[in-house]
């Protein structure tokens, strides 16, 4: 196909904002007002709220929202008292966070960049990294785990959402029609497993390119980076035929040991 996935995905996510994709729609002013009173809830995966006891107290916390722009979580964290940096590839997605910050008088640091390269941040500069289901947009998640570990201080927490490998086995078009047809193998890549015609249709629909990682890459990758896993739950996409049979998403809590 001859394109870098990050180059394409930057454009694709900019266009998803224009298309109103669910993961590009910011929270409203009422949600920000509630968060200022301590009443907030966020997701790492499609539906289930992240347990509040997965978070340290947010007041004064240095928090990195990694590949998590779109105005859904970062402004809530800022309203609840955290010092928030949003690091994301898409200018339009960062623009959604900027719009909320300007509307509601919040301080957010917005950084345009690839999730695999956090070299602009010093070692140990964050207390919490919040990383929702976004590593399906890079071919290899290991650099993300390694960089998250490096920028967290000892004792710091990584909260991540990941897609289960099984989600990538099935023919996507047939799945949209409720049919479960096994077609692919893992690790999965839109660049390798789709036909030219299918990729062309993806590109025409401004869809980001996706990659399906194994559990060894997702959970083993966090452990290999040096993290200790301290929490895990499963979640489902409500309208997906496969999710009715198996939860296709995982959320993990991991700690950088002291």
Segment interacting with ligand SAM (CB under 6 A) among 69-77, 185-193, 209-217, 218-226: 69-77
Segment interacting with ligand SAM (CB under 6 A) among 67-75, 145-153, 185-193, 194-202: 67-75
Which residue in 32, 64, 70, 150 binds ligand SAM (CB under 6 A)? Answer: 70
Which residue in 67, 78, 80, 159 binds ligand SAM (CB under 6 A)? Answer: 67
In whole angstroms, what is the distance from residue 20 CA to residue 129 CA?
A: 26
Segment interacting with ligand SAM (CB under 6 A) among 118-126, 128-136, 221-229, 242-250: 128-136
Q: Is residue 13 a contact residue for ligand SAM (CB under 6 A)? A: yes
User: Helix 91-104 vs helix 5-19: angle between axes, to the nearest 10 degrees?
Assistant: 50
**CB 75 within 8 Å of CB 32:** yes
Mind giving me the DSSP string for 48-82? PBPPGGGSPP-TT-EEEEET--SSSSHHHHHHTT-
- The vertex-95 CA angle with 94 and 96, nearest 5°, equals 90
Nearest distance from C-beta of residue 222 to ligand SAM, angstroms: 18
Which residue in 61, 89, 128, 219 binds ligand SAM (CB under 6 A)? Answer: 89
**CB 63 within 8 Å of CB 85:** yes
Q: Is residue 133 a contact residue for ligand SAM (CB under 6 A)? A: yes
């Amino acid at each position: 196909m001859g394109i870098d996935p990050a180059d394409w995905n930057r454009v694709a996510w900019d266009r998803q904002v224009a298309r109103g994709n669910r993961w590009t729609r910011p929270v409203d002013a009422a949600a920000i007002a509630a968060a200022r009173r301590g009443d907030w809830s966020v997701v790492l995966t499609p539906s289930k709220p992240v347990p509040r006891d997965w978070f340290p107290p947010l007041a004064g916390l240095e928090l990195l929202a990694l590949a998590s722009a779109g105005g859904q979580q970062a402004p809530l964290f800022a309203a609840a008292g955290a010092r928030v940096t949003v690091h994301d590839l898409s200018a339009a997605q960062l623009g959604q966070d900027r719009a909320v910050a300007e509307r509601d008088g919040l301080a957010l640091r917005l950084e345009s960049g690839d999730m695999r390269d956090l070299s602009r941040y010093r070692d140990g500069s964050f207390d919490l990294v919040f990383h929702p289901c976004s590593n399906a947009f890079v071919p290899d998640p290991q650099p993300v785990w390694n960089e998250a570990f490096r920028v967290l201080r000892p004792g710091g927490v990584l909260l991540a959402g990941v897609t289960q490998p099984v989600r990538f086995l099935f023919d996507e078009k047939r799945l949209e029609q409720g049919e479960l047809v096994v077609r692919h193998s893992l690790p999965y890549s839109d660049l390798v497993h789709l036909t030219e015609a299918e990729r062309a249709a993806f590109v025409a629909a401004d869809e980001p390119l996706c990659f399906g990682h194994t559990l060894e890459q997702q959970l083993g990758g966090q452990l290999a980076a040096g993290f200790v896993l301290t929490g895990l739950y499963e979640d489902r996409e409500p309208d997906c035929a496969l999710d009715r049979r198996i939860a296709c998403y995982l959320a993990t809590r991991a700690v950088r040991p002291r």
